[in-house]
């Protein structure tokens, strides 16, 4: 039994030798890039906070303590309140921590909608071409010809101000970009010799798409999505800032900045710390995205590979 | 006629024009393949030579229906290929395979060699009478690679090795015919020789029929039994290999033969050379009459007006040129 | 014939993550005035790197780590970037494989030739340079040069573009033209025309030509002397007739019997077994050893390049005269 498992692991290792090497190389590239690592750290912190943030806050981020509200309101940063307090005496550190969840939720939801839609429509438009392509791409063009943020504002104003409408509004403006990227990539891969070779063998269209086109399309899409994560967070903060996203008392970074604006610049911490949170998160995603692009770029990887050969 | 009845592959009047569009209007056609007829008997190699833009690659793709031709007929083993559908088409694909010029582009960079070679077997569910992995290893060994290469990715191989993999993929289905589209043009000479000899060996062992497309006259002389010379979408000369080289008929063939560099300095400098005139023109709206007439030193009056017909000058040696027309 | 260029023990290494790639490793040769000197070899043999190193055109991670390049007695490797730029394009001109990327798509062919003239002859008026450019276009056998001078690169065919590139290279009457695979991207008929043109220009201007190619046919057609390279080393140097009739190095012999001669009936070509070595793990001793059917124990040491007969140099233990 144990021998069986052992030999199974051994053959698995043999079969996947090249893949394992590939992963090791990716890791190697990643380790070489301090910026990408920094990005990864920021993003990891953000995701962890997004999951457990609301449970580890030192104070309740939402409830107003009326008993102490007057003494505690608008206190500057101190050991008691790292980020100071707001006009209701709530701890801003707690509110910023809790705010990570809303940003994470919105951006995940947007990606969960925009990526599959972009993938499916892009693959169809790119592979089949002709009338289908025309229709899909003209609709996409219409969406892309409006500034994203303005369109998102319009949608979420129509849908009513809430986190849900912000999610839907951002998703609505986000998919067309992905359709374009996926379509372009599909078009170029469709003309590649290996797809021609597969067609000459008689491989069915659905298998060609799944086996030859999809894996080659997904890579640039992942990079793009990672880079976009930050932008989605920015847009969702902007929506909340103008009152269309998260509604009080939900702590949301954009909303916090909007609320703190009234007290700016004397009570600077009210806007500063939520702003800092947005800054680091967006920076983190961008750095990670750039790093991923390097990793997934075979040219970059080959350089590292040389090293393996030289050992 | 060039077409023989007992041939394995017969191509009759094949035509493929690609429209050239400007805005919404068609301003002309790339006459890539324009009325091409020939046949190949089982176990023989037909070499197709020509310069860039002569339509040789389009021809290759049209025969296996990677491109749908506009007109003409293709018979493989008596059946009209252009009428095949579904299962029958799949059956045809099993019997005729293709190897492309660029071994860097023809293998999916994200698939291991095992997956690449498994794909045809899986698609056709052919009876190989052994374990799939054993069969794939036997294929690899046949093209001179080893078992340990099985789970590697294409980028770990040299150009020559990749071309071996591409050939192994084409052979996986035990085809009867291979279309070889410049299979050695991207390779170094020493490796080219390895691949050419391998292909010749496989032809003998498996009675394979080859359609060998190339621009290299040395290569084509080495591998082919018959040669078709193409110029701007048309076959201008066809005949047995040695006939073509010893007794070229068409002025274009003569020009090609005197233009090729010869790897022998004495021969290179002493032979009589005809200076080639001009360059291959764009295949968009080619010249009227004989398409070669603007570059031809033997040009006569009617060359730019009427298109010459095919004439059999010697036994099985055909050309399309007014100089040989009996009319 | 007097000597124009002497390269001594040239070494160009590329410092990659993997380690050091010794792309050119101790290459020595001379080029005589007025001759066509060809460097032939397969992918990665170092022929192009050698050509580029002559005027220090090596970009990082590559570095010229040793040797001398004596051009008319001056060591080019010792010159500053500014000084060498005055030589590049004037005394030594390059022609590359792909004419499309050698030309700037934004300027007319006439202007591009004129520009090279004005750069190296300060004080020349552009108007005069343009007139001269038309003359040059006529020299490189471009029909209707006045009209073609006003054409942009995309309006010219591949052969015409390569003619313009050649025109640019001869515009300052260079002493040496380094042509790196100048006909590889051209069709056979056009290739013949371009090779002819190079020969004519050589006669007319007395230019020396260094031709880098992988095509043995092209070598046989135009060269006077030939150097064969393999994996960063010189394996054989001889005049073209000697090299083709009496090749000594097993690699040269292998190459020659691997190429089908289109003018002869070919019954068999003999490939060289194996593959070109990975330049990071170069075989010890003679680099051709793993593919060589004559290899013996002594080949584990590096063979010297010796002159076995006047003007015929070979780097192989079989010709050193010594025993095992």
Which pLDDT belongs to residue B285? 79
C138 touches C127 (CB < 8 A) = no
Asked if residue B309 has pLDDT above 90, the reply is no
Which of A303, A304, A310 minimises the CB distance to C280?
Answer: A310
B chain contacts of residue C258, beta-carbon cutoff 8 Å: 189-190, 192-193
For residue range C110-156, list pLDDT tens digits in order.
899 898 888 888 888 888 888 888 888 888 888 888 888 888 888 88
- Categorize the per-residue pLDDT at B161 as very low, low, confident or very high, splitting at 50, 70 and 90: very high
C-beta atoms of B107 and A216 within 8 A: no
Q: What is the CA radius of gyration of chain B?
A: 21
pLDDT at A308 over 80: no
> Does the distance separating the beta carbons of C191 and B193 come in below 8 Å?
no
- The predicted structure's pLDDT at residue A153: 84
pLDDT at B231: 92
Which residue from C158, C220, C269 is facing B193, i.e. has the nearest CB?
C269
Q: Residues of C with CB below 8 A from A33's CB?
A: none
Element at B300 (helix H, strand E): none
- Find chains touching chain A: ≥3 CB pairs under 8 Å: B, C
The residue in chain C having the minimum alpha-carbon distance to the alpha carbon of residue B198 is C271
Q: How confident is the model at residue A293 (pLDDT cuts 50, 70, 90)?
A: confident
Report the pLDDT value the prediction gives residue B141, as an integer from 0 to 100: 93
One DSSP character per residue, B94-154 reads HHEEEE-S-TTTSS-TTS-HHHHHHHHHHHHT---SS-HHHHHHHHHHHTT--GGGTT--G
CA distance C28 to C8: 4
| ipTM here | 0.87
Q: What is the mean pLDDT of residues A108-117?
A: 92
Q: Is the pLDDT of residue C7 over 60?
A: yes
Which residues from A are below 8 Å from B when comparing CB atoms?
14-19, 22, 192-194, 196-204, 207, 211-212, 215-216, 298, 302
Q: What percent of chain A has pLDDT over 90?
A: 22
Question: Residue A29 and residue B51: Cα distance in Å, rounded?
Answer: 44
Q: What pLDDT was estimated at residue A311? A: 27
Task: Give the separation between CA C111 and CA C131, rounded to whole angstroms.
Answer: 10
Question: Do residues C231 and C277 touch, judged by C-beta distance below 8 A?
Answer: yes
CA distance to partner chain C, nearest, from residue B276 (Å): 6
Q: From the CA of C263, how many Å to the nearest CA of chain B?
A: 7
Q: Report the gap between the CA of A302 and the closest CA in chain C (Å).
A: 9
pLDDT tops 90 at residue B117: yes
Closest CA to A171 of A133, A100, A118: A118
Q: Is residue A292 over pLDDT 80? A: yes
| C38-69 CB burial, b ≥16 within 10 A, e <16 | bbbbbebbbbbbbbbbbbbebeeebebeebeb
How remote is the C-alpha of C269 from its chain's centroid? 26
Would you tell me how many other CB atoms lie within 10 Å of the CB of residue B262?
A: 23
Q: Find the mean pLDDT for residues A231-240.
A: 88
* Whether A308 contacts chain C with CB within 8 A: yes
Interface of B with A (CB under 8 A): 61, 64, 66, 89-90, 93-94, 97-98, 100, 102, 105-112, 114, 119-120, 123-124, 151-153, 155-156, 166, 169, 173
Looking up tokens 């996203």, which residue turns up? A245
Residue B178's pLDDT band, with cuts at 50, 70 and 90, is very high
**What is the least distance, in Å, from the CA of A18 to any CA of chain B?**
5
Phi, psi of C298 (to 5 degrees): -65, -20
CA distances C1 to A246, C73, C227, Å, are: 87, 15, 18
Laid out side by side, the sheet with B177-181 consists of B96-99, B177-181, B209-214, B45-49, B226-231, B234-240, B317-320, B310-314
As a three-state string, the secondary structure of chain A is: CHHHHHHHHHHHHHHCHHHHHHHHHHHHHHHHCHHHHHHHHHHHHHHHHHHHHHHHCCCCCCCCCCCCHHHHCCCCCCCCCCCCECCCCCEHHHHHHHHHHHHHHHHHHHHHHHHHHHHHHHHHHHHHCHHHHHHHHHHHHHHHCCCHHHHHHHHHHHHCCCHHHHHHHHHHHHHHHHHHHHHHHHHHHHCCHHHHHHHHHCCCHHHHHHHHHHHHHHHHHHHHHHHHHHHHHHHHHHHHHCCCCCCCCCCCHHHHHHHHHCCCCCCCHHHHHHHHHHHHHHHHHHHHHHHHHHHHCHHHHHHHHHHHHHC
Q: What share of chain C is helix, strand, coil (3-state, %, to 5)?
A: 35, 25, 40
% of chain B at pLDDT higher than 70: 99
A304 touches C: beta carbon within 8 Å: yes
Report pLDDT for A310. 31
How far C109 CA lies from chain A's nearest CA (Å)?
A: 32
Contact C131, C107 (CB under 8 A): no
Count of H-run helices and E-run strands, chain B: 10, 12
pLDDT category, A307, cuts 50, 70, 90? Answer: very low
C-alpha A105 chain-centroid distance: 10
Determine, for residues C17 and A309 on separate chains, whether the beta-carbon distance falls below 8 Å. Answer: no
CATH number of A28-61+81-306: 1.10.3720.10
Rounded to a whole number of angstroms, the distance from the CA of B151 to the nearest CA of chain A is 6
Residue spans per domain, chain A: 28-61+81-306
A299 part of contact set with chain C, CB < 8 Å: no
**pLDDT of C193 strictly over 90:** no
Q: Is C287 exposed, middle or buried (0-12, 13-18, 19+ CB in 10 A)?
A: buried
Share of chain B above pLDDT 90, in %: 55
Asked whether the beta carbons of A151 and A173 are under 8 A apart, the reply is: yes
- Taking an 8 Å cut-off on Cβ atoms, the answer to whether A211 and B111 are in contact is yes
Confidence band, pLDDT 50/70/90 cuts, at residue A35: confident
Mean predicted confidence (pLDDT) in A247-265: 83
State residue B326's pLDDT score: 67
pLDDT at A304: 47
pLDDT class for B109, splitting at 50, 70, 90? confident
Q: What is the pLDDT of residues C81-97, one digit of tens each?
A: 888 988 888 889 888 88
Q: Which residue on chain C is closest to B275 by alpha carbon? A: C193
Q: Which residues of C touch A304 (CB under 8 A)?
A: 17
What per-residue confidence (pLDDT) applies to B327? 54
CA-based nearest residue in chain B for residue A218: B110
Q: Does C252 touch chain B (CB under 8 A)?
A: no
- Mean pLDDT of the region C205-222: 92
> How much is the average pLDDT of C191-199?
88
Burial B214-245 (b: 16+ CB within 10 A, else e): bbbbbbbbbbbbbbbbbbbbbbbbbbbbebbb
Domain map (residue ranges) of chain C: 3-91+174-319
Task: Evaluate whether A103 touches A256 at the Cβ level (below 8 Å).
Answer: no
pLDDT at A305: 45
Residue window 31-50, chain B: list those with CB within 8 Å of chain C: none
pTM for the whole structure: 0.86
Q: Which pLDDT value is given to residue A301? A: 55
Mean pLDDT (chain A) is 83
Q: Shortest CA distance to C252 belongs to which of C304, C307, C291, C301?
A: C291
Output the six-digit token pair for A83: 């980020």
Q: Over the stretch B214-269, which tens digit does the pLDDT of each residue have?
A: 999 999 999 999 999 999 999 999 999 999 999 999 999 999 998 889 999 998 88
User: Tens digit of pLDDT for each residue in B38-89?
Assistant: 999 999 999 999 988 888 999 999 999 999 999 999 999 989 999 998 889 9
The residue ranking higher by pLDDT, C69 or B276, is: C69
Pairing of strands B310-314, B96-99: unpaired
Average pLDDT value over all residues in chain B? 90
Contact C215 B261 (CB under 8 A): yes
Contact A298/B155, CB-based, under 8 Å?
yes
Q: What average pLDDT is seen over chain C?
A: 88
Contact by Cβ (8 Å): A46, A281: yes
Q: Please tell me which residue of chain C has the smallest CA distance to A29.
A: C17
Q: What residues of C are in the A interface, CB distance below 8 Å?
A: 16-19, 21, 278, 280-281
Please report the residues numbered 210 through 269 in chain B whose beta carbons come closer than 8 angstroms to any beta carbon of chain C.
215-222, 242, 245, 255-269
For range A237-256, the mean pLDDT: 84
Task: Report the top-level CATH class of C3-91+174-319.
Answer: alpha beta
């Amino acid at each position: 039994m144990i021998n069986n498992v052992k030999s199974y692991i051994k053959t698995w290792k043999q079969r996947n030798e090249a893949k394992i090497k590939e992963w090791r190389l990716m890791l190697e590239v990643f380790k070489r890039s301090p910026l990408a690592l920094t990005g990864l750290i920021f993003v990891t912190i953000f995701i962890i906070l997004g999951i457990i943030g609301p449970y580890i806050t030192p104070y309740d981020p939402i409830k107003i303590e009326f008993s102490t509200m007057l003494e505690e309101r608008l206190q500057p940063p101190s050991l008691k309140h790292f980020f100071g307090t707001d006009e209701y005496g709530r701890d801003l550190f707690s509110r910023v921590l809790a705010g990570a969840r809303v940003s994470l939720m919105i951006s995940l939801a947007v990606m969960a909608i925009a990526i599959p839609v972009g993938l499916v429509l892009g693959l169809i438009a790119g592979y089949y071409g002709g009338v289908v392509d025309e229709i899909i791409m003209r609709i996409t063009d219409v969406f892309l010809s409006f500034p994203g943020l303005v369109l998102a504002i319009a949608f979420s104003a129509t849908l009513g101000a809430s986190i849900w409408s912000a999610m839907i509004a951002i998703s609505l403006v986000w998919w067309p970009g992905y359709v374009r990227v996926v379509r372009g990539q599909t078009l170029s891969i469709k003309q590649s010799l290996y797809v021609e070779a597969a067609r000459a063998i008689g491989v069915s269209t659905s298998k060609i798409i799944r086996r030859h086109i999809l894996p080659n399309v997904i890579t640039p899409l992942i990079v793009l999505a990672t880079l976009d994560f930050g932008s989605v967070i920015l847009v969702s903060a902007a929506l909340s800032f103008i009152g269309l996203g998260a509604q009080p008392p939900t702590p949301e970074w954009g909303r916090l900045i909007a609320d703190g604006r009234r007290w700016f610049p004397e009570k600077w911490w009210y806007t500063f710390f939520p702003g800092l949170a947005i800054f680091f998160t967006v920076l983190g995603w961008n750095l990670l995205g750039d790093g991923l692009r390097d990793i997934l770029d075979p040219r970059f990887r080959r350089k590292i590979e040389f090293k393996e050969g030289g050992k | 006629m060039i077409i023989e009845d007992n041939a394995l592959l017969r191509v009759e009047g094949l035509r493929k024009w690609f429209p050239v569009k400007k805005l919404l209007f068609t301003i002309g056609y790339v006459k890539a393949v324009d009325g091409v007829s020939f046949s190949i008997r089982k176990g023989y190699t037909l070499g197709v030579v020509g310069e860039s833009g002569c339509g040789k690659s389009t021809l290759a793709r049209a025969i296996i229906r990677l491109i749908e031709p506009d007109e003409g007929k293709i018979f493989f083993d008596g059946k009209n290929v252009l009428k095949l559908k579904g299962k029958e088409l799949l059956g045809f694909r099993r019997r005729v395979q293709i190897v492309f010029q660029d071994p860097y582009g023809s293998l999916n960079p994200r698939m291991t060699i095992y997956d690449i070679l498994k794909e045809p077997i899986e698609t056709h569910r052919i009876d190989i009478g052994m374990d799939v992995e054993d069969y794939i290893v036997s294929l690899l060994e046949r093209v001179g690679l080893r078992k340990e290469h099985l789970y590697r990715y294409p980028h770990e191989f040299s150009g020559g090795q990749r071309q071996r993999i591409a050939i192994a993929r084409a052979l996986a289905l035990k085809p009867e015919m291979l279309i070889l589209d410049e299979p050695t043009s991207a390779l170094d000479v020493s490796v080219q020789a390895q691949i050419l000899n391998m292909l010749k060996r496989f032809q003998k062992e498996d009675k394979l029929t080859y359609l060998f497309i190339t621009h290299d006259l040395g290569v084509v002389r080495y591998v082919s039994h018959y040669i078709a010379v193409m110029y701007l979408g048309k076959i201008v000369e066809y005949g047995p290999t040695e006939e073509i080289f010893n007794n070229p008929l068409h002025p274009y063939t003569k020009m090609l033969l005197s233009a090729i560099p010869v790897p022998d300095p004495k021969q290179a400098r002493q032979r009589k050379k005809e200076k080639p005139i001009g360059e291959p023109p764009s295949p968009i709206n080619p010249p009227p009459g004989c398409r070669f007439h603007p570059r031809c030193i033997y040009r006569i009056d009617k060359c730019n007006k009427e298109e010459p017909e095919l004439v059999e000058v010697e036994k099985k040696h055909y050309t399309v040129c007014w100089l040989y027309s009996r009319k | 014939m007097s000597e124009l260029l002497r390269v001594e023990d040239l070494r160009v290494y590329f410092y990659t993550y993997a380690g050091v790639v010794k792309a050119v490793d101790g290459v020595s040769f001379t080029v005589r005035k007025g001759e066509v000197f060809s460097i032939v070899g397969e992918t990665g043999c170092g022929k192009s790197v050698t050509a580029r190193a002559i005027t220090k055109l090596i970009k990082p991670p590559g570095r010229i780590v040793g040797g001398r390049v004596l051009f008319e007695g001056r060591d080019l490797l010792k010159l500053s970037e500014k000084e060498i730029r005055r030589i590049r394009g004037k005394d030594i001109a390059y022609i590359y494989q792909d004419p499309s990327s050698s030309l700037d798509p934004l300027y007319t062919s006439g202007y591009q030739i004129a520009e090279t003239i004005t750069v190296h002859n300060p004080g020349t008026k552009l108007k005069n340079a343009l007139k001269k450019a038309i003359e040059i276009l006529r020299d490189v056998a471009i029909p209707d040069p006045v009209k073609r001078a006003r054409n942009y690169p995309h309006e010219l065919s591949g052969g015409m573009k390569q003619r313009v590139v050649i025109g640019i290279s001869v515009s300052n009457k260079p002493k040496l033209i380094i042509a790196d695979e100048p006909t590889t991207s051209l069709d056979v008929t056009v290739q013949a025309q371009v090779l002819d043109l190079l020969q004519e220009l050589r006669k007319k201007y007395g230019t020396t030509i260094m031709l880098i190619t992988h095509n043995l046919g092209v070598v046989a057609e135009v060269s006077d002397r030939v150097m064969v390279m393999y994996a960063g080393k010189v394996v054989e140097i001889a005049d073209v007739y000697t090299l083709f009739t009496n090749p000594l190095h097993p690699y040269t012999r292998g190459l020659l019997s691997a190429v089908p001669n289109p003018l002869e009936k070919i019954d068999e070509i003999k490939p060289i077994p194996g593959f070109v070595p990975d330049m990071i793990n170069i075989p010890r001793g003679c680099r051709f050893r793993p593919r060589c059917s004559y290899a013996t124990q002594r080949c584990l040491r590096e063979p010297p390049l010796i002159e076995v007969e006047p003007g015929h140099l070979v780097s192989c233990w079989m010709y050193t005269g010594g025993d095992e």
